[in-house]
Amino acid sequence: MTGSSMKLVFVVARARNGIIGRDGALPWRLPSELKRFKSTTWGRPMIMGRKTFQSIGRPLPGRDTIVVTRDAGFAAQGVDVARAIDEAVRMGELRARARGVDEIMVVGGAEIYAALADRADRIVLTEVNLAPQGDAVFATPDPAVWRRVSTETVEPAPGDEAAYAVHVYERLTPNPPPH
Protein backbone atom coordinates (compact mmCIF):
# COMPACT_ATOMS: atom_id res chain seq x y z
CA MET A 1 0.00 0.00 0.00
CA THR A 2 1.19 3.46 -0.80
CA GLY A 3 0.08 7.00 -0.05
CA SER A 4 -3.52 8.30 -0.51
CA SER A 5 -5.65 6.08 -2.76
CA MET A 6 -2.66 4.82 -4.75
CA LYS A 7 -2.83 1.05 -5.38
CA LEU A 8 -0.02 -1.41 -5.91
CA VAL A 9 -1.23 -3.90 -8.51
CA PHE A 10 0.62 -7.13 -9.20
CA VAL A 11 0.41 -8.36 -12.78
CA VAL A 12 1.67 -11.92 -13.03
CA ALA A 13 1.26 -15.00 -15.18
CA ARG A 14 1.89 -18.34 -13.52
CA ALA A 15 1.62 -21.95 -14.58
CA ARG A 16 -0.48 -24.51 -12.68
CA ASN A 17 2.66 -25.50 -10.76
CA GLY A 18 3.48 -21.91 -9.77
CA ILE A 19 6.31 -21.44 -12.28
CA ILE A 20 6.61 -17.94 -13.76
CA GLY A 21 10.08 -18.06 -15.37
CA ARG A 22 12.90 -20.22 -16.63
CA ASP A 23 16.49 -19.18 -17.37
CA GLY A 24 15.57 -15.50 -17.30
CA ALA A 25 12.65 -15.79 -19.72
CA LEU A 26 8.99 -16.77 -19.82
CA PRO A 27 8.53 -20.55 -20.12
CA TRP A 28 5.70 -20.33 -22.67
CA ARG A 29 4.59 -18.54 -25.79
CA LEU A 30 1.32 -16.69 -25.31
CA PRO A 31 1.09 -13.67 -27.62
CA SER A 32 -2.53 -12.97 -26.69
CA GLU A 33 -1.54 -12.79 -23.02
CA LEU A 34 1.23 -10.30 -23.84
CA LYS A 35 -1.42 -8.13 -25.53
CA ARG A 36 -3.47 -8.26 -22.34
CA PHE A 37 -0.40 -7.34 -20.32
CA LYS A 38 0.05 -4.33 -22.56
CA SER A 39 -3.50 -3.09 -22.06
CA THR A 40 -3.49 -3.81 -18.29
CA THR A 41 -0.30 -1.82 -17.77
CA TRP A 42 -0.83 0.88 -20.42
CA GLY A 43 -0.45 4.47 -19.24
CA ARG A 44 0.87 3.40 -15.83
CA PRO A 45 4.20 3.14 -14.08
CA MET A 46 5.65 -0.36 -13.83
CA ILE A 47 8.12 -1.57 -11.21
CA MET A 48 10.33 -4.46 -12.27
CA GLY A 49 13.49 -6.21 -11.12
CA ARG A 50 16.74 -5.77 -13.02
CA LYS A 51 16.57 -9.37 -14.34
CA THR A 52 13.07 -8.91 -15.72
CA PHE A 53 14.11 -5.64 -17.33
CA GLN A 54 17.06 -7.34 -18.98
CA SER A 55 14.86 -10.16 -20.24
CA ILE A 56 12.55 -7.59 -21.87
CA GLY A 57 15.58 -5.67 -23.08
CA ARG A 58 14.07 -2.19 -23.44
CA PRO A 59 11.58 0.19 -21.86
CA LEU A 60 8.07 -0.65 -23.02
CA PRO A 61 6.17 2.15 -24.78
CA GLY A 62 3.29 4.01 -23.19
CA ARG A 63 4.35 3.18 -19.63
CA ASP A 64 7.02 4.28 -17.15
CA THR A 65 9.63 1.63 -16.40
CA ILE A 66 11.16 1.68 -12.92
CA VAL A 67 14.00 -0.84 -12.60
CA VAL A 68 15.07 -2.01 -9.13
CA THR A 69 18.72 -2.95 -8.70
CA ARG A 70 21.40 -2.84 -6.02
CA ASP A 71 24.01 -2.29 -8.72
CA ALA A 72 25.21 1.31 -8.37
CA GLY A 73 26.62 1.14 -11.90
CA PHE A 74 23.36 0.12 -13.58
CA ALA A 75 21.99 2.54 -16.16
CA ALA A 76 19.65 2.15 -19.10
CA GLN A 77 18.06 4.63 -21.44
CA GLY A 78 14.44 5.57 -20.90
CA VAL A 79 14.02 4.02 -17.45
CA ASP A 80 14.04 5.22 -13.83
CA VAL A 81 16.48 3.30 -11.66
CA ALA A 82 15.69 2.60 -7.98
CA ARG A 83 18.31 1.21 -5.60
CA ALA A 84 15.72 -0.07 -3.11
CA ILE A 85 12.11 -1.24 -3.12
CA ASP A 86 10.85 1.76 -1.13
CA GLU A 87 12.52 4.11 -3.58
CA ALA A 88 10.84 2.27 -6.47
CA VAL A 89 7.42 2.70 -4.85
CA ARG A 90 8.07 6.40 -4.25
CA MET A 91 9.10 6.84 -7.88
CA GLY A 92 5.98 4.92 -8.93
CA GLU A 93 3.79 7.28 -6.91
CA LEU A 94 5.36 10.33 -8.51
CA ARG A 95 5.02 8.87 -12.00
CA ALA A 96 1.42 7.80 -11.38
CA ARG A 97 0.47 11.24 -10.10
CA ALA A 98 2.11 12.87 -13.09
CA ARG A 99 0.00 10.65 -15.34
CA GLY A 100 -3.18 11.19 -13.29
CA VAL A 101 -3.59 7.47 -12.50
CA ASP A 102 -3.93 5.74 -9.14
CA GLU A 103 -2.21 2.43 -9.88
CA ILE A 104 1.43 1.37 -9.79
CA MET A 105 1.91 -1.92 -11.61
CA VAL A 106 4.35 -4.44 -10.17
CA VAL A 107 5.39 -6.71 -13.01
CA GLY A 108 7.96 -9.03 -11.49
CA GLY A 109 9.97 -11.09 -11.33
CA ALA A 110 9.80 -13.45 -8.39
CA GLU A 111 12.13 -11.40 -6.17
CA ILE A 112 10.18 -8.19 -6.66
CA TYR A 113 6.79 -9.86 -6.06
CA ALA A 114 8.21 -11.35 -2.85
CA ALA A 115 9.62 -8.01 -1.71
CA LEU A 116 6.28 -6.22 -2.18
CA ALA A 117 3.89 -9.08 -1.25
CA ASP A 118 2.73 -7.45 1.98
CA ARG A 119 2.02 -4.15 0.27
CA ALA A 120 0.10 -5.32 -2.81
CA ASP A 121 -3.53 -4.21 -3.00
CA ARG A 122 -4.65 -6.21 -6.05
CA ILE A 123 -3.35 -9.15 -8.08
CA VAL A 124 -4.18 -9.64 -11.74
CA LEU A 125 -3.18 -13.29 -12.06
CA THR A 126 -3.11 -15.19 -15.32
CA GLU A 127 -3.17 -18.94 -14.63
CA VAL A 128 -1.63 -20.72 -17.59
CA ASN A 129 -2.76 -24.28 -18.23
CA LEU A 130 0.78 -25.68 -18.37
CA ALA A 131 3.20 -27.15 -15.80
CA PRO A 132 6.66 -26.34 -17.16
CA GLN A 133 10.05 -26.66 -15.49
CA GLY A 134 11.40 -23.36 -14.22
CA ASP A 135 13.35 -21.46 -11.61
CA ALA A 136 11.09 -18.52 -10.71
CA VAL A 137 7.82 -19.03 -8.82
CA PHE A 138 4.78 -17.16 -7.58
CA ALA A 139 2.70 -18.71 -4.80
CA THR A 140 -1.08 -19.18 -5.02
CA PRO A 141 -2.72 -16.19 -3.31
CA ASP A 142 -3.51 -17.14 0.31
CA PRO A 143 -7.35 -17.24 0.71
CA ALA A 144 -6.92 -15.88 4.24
CA VAL A 145 -5.52 -12.70 2.69
CA TRP A 146 -6.94 -12.52 -0.83
CA ARG A 147 -10.49 -12.67 -2.20
CA ARG A 148 -10.99 -13.61 -5.84
CA VAL A 149 -13.35 -11.04 -7.37
CA SER A 150 -13.39 -12.11 -11.02
CA THR A 151 -12.33 -14.88 -13.38
CA GLU A 152 -12.24 -14.92 -17.15
CA THR A 153 -11.32 -18.09 -19.01
CA VAL A 154 -9.51 -17.64 -22.32
CA GLU A 155 -9.15 -20.19 -25.11
CA PRO A 156 -5.81 -20.20 -26.95
CA ALA A 157 -5.61 -17.64 -29.76
CA PRO A 158 -3.50 -18.40 -32.84
CA GLY A 159 0.12 -18.74 -31.69
CA ASP A 160 -0.78 -19.35 -28.03
CA GLU A 161 0.65 -22.47 -26.47
CA ALA A 162 -2.15 -23.02 -23.97
CA ALA A 163 -5.46 -21.84 -22.58
CA TYR A 164 -5.43 -19.63 -19.51
CA ALA A 165 -7.69 -17.91 -17.02
CA VAL A 166 -7.34 -14.37 -15.73
CA HIS A 167 -8.25 -13.94 -12.07
CA VAL A 168 -8.42 -10.68 -10.16
CA TYR A 169 -7.81 -10.79 -6.41
CA GLU A 170 -8.39 -8.02 -3.89
CA ARG A 171 -6.87 -7.91 -0.42
CA LEU A 172 -9.51 -8.92 2.16
CA THR A 173 -8.32 -6.45 4.77
CA PRO A 174 -7.12 -3.27 3.11
CA ASN A 175 -3.60 -2.22 3.98
CA PRO A 176 -3.24 0.45 6.65
CA PRO A 177 -3.37 4.11 5.65
CA PRO A 178 -0.21 5.83 4.45
CA HIS A 179 2.72 6.25 6.75
Ligand X SMILES: NC(=O)c1ccc[n+]([C@@H]2O[C@H](COP(=O)([O-])OP(=O)(O)OC[C@H]3O[C@@H](n4cnc5c(N)ncnc54)[C@H](OP(=O)(O)O)[C@@H]3O)[C@@H](O)[C@H]2O)c1
Binding site for ligand X (CB under 6 A): 12-13, 20-22, 24-26, 49-52, 55, 68-71, 74, 84-85, 107-112, 115, 136
Question: 3-state SS of the chain: helix, strand, coil percent to 5?
Answer: 25, 30, 45
Pick between residue 50 and residue 174 the one whose CB is nearest to ligand X: 50
How many other C-beta atoms are found inside a 10 Å radius of the C-beta of residue 114?
Answer: 12
Min dist CB 12 to ligand X, Å, is 4
Pick between residue 40 and residue 175 the one whose CB is nearest to ligand X: 40
Min dist CB 5 to ligand X, Å, is 25
Min dist CB 73 to ligand X, Å, is 9
- Decide: residue 68, CB within 10 A, 0-12 exposed, 13-18 middle, 19+ buried: buried
Pick between residue 58 and residue 174 the one whose CB is nearest to ligand X: 58
Query: Are 132 and 37 contacting, i.e. CB atoms less than 8 angstroms apart?
Result: no
